């Protein structure tokens, strides 16, 4: 979803980013934004390519240098939190830009090239193995679907030691999805717990220090009077 020599395509975002998130050079969403000494912001790759041709700012034409450029980490983090759309045909999922690679690894509509030499067809992951077996280009492939070309004489004797790898990958994707859901539920529960603790703390009445001191003195006097009366009573009984 990004240009190798510039920023991210504007159309892949769910909501169009503001103009302060666009690069003046490539007109795309900033990718690894940097600020020059004249306070203008560009994609890092764009401004480095620009400065090879001329050492002036594209906006104000002032002299600039790489040594005075600063990477804007906060802006880069804000852009990574923007939601984007999956570019695979048939998939309607949306997710933060930072989770693009995670979604691509588990998207059922993600396409991969046919491993048969000379084919070049892009096939969805769940159809790749069946397509590879039916593909008429080149020699037959390993039954495990990993792209190893086998001659007819070796096909009957071939035993793939990685035949369970595809199953393990599917299980890992399922585990990753489950963990993401549980983390989301845990974050919601923590937010609710924090609110409840704040309400409980706000409802507590902390007594005034002077009232506590007076109550302590009063209790001390009462206990002293009780001790005095008990001593007098014991003296009378002795007499």
Q: Does pTM top 0.75 for this prediction?
A: no
DSSP string, 68-95: G-EE-HHHHHHHHTSEEE--STT---EE
Residue 127 within any structural domain of the chain: yes
Residue 114 within any structural domain of the chain: yes
* pLDDT tens figures, 103-141: 887 787 887 777 766 676 777 766 777 776 767 555 555
The torsion region of residue 36 among left (phi > 0), alpha (psi -120 to 50) and beta comes to beta
Residue 125 within any structural domain of the chain: yes
What contacts 69, CB < 8 A, 6 or more positions away?
Answer: 34, 35, 36, 37, 47
Residue 206 within any structural domain of the chain: no
Provide the H-helix boundaries in the chain: 44-53, 73-80, 100-106, 125-134, 152-155, 165-203, 209-238
Residue 219 within any structural domain of the chain: no
We report the CATH number of the domain holding residue 74 as: 3.30.40.10
Q: Are 38 and 62 in contact (CB under 8 A)?
A: yes
* pLDDT tens figures, 179-208: 888 888 888 889 888 888 888 877 775 555
């Amino acid at each position: 979803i990004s240009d190798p020599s510039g920023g991210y395509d504007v159309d892949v975002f769910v909501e169009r980013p503001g103009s302060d998130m666009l690069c003046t050079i490539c007109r795309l969403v900033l990718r690894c934004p940097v600020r020059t000494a004249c306070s203008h912001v560009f994609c890092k790759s764009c401004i480095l390519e620009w400065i090879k041709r001329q050492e002036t700012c594209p906006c104000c034409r002032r002299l600039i240098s790489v040594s005075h450029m600063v990477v804007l980490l906060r802006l880069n983090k804000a852009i990574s939190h923007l939601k984007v759309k999956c570019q695979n045909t048939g998939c309607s999922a949306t997710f933060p830009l930072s989770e693009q690679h995670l979604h691509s690894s588990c998207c059922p509509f993600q396409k991969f090239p046919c491993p048969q030499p000379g084919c070049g067809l892009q096939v969805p992951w769940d159809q790749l193995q069946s397509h590879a077996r039916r593909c008429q280009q080149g020699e037959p492939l390993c039954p495990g679907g990993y792209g190893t070309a086998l001659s007819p004489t070796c096909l009957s004797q071939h035993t793939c030691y990685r035949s369970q790898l595809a199953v393990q990958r599917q299980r890992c994707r399922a585990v990753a999805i489950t963990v993401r859901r549980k983390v989301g539920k845990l974050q919601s529960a923590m937010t609710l717990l924090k609110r409840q603790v704040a309400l409980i703390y706000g409802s507590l009445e902390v007594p005034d220090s002077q009232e506590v001191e007076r109550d302590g003195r009063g209790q001390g006097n009462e206990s002293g009077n009780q001790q005095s009366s008990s001593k007098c009573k014991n003296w009378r009984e002795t007499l």
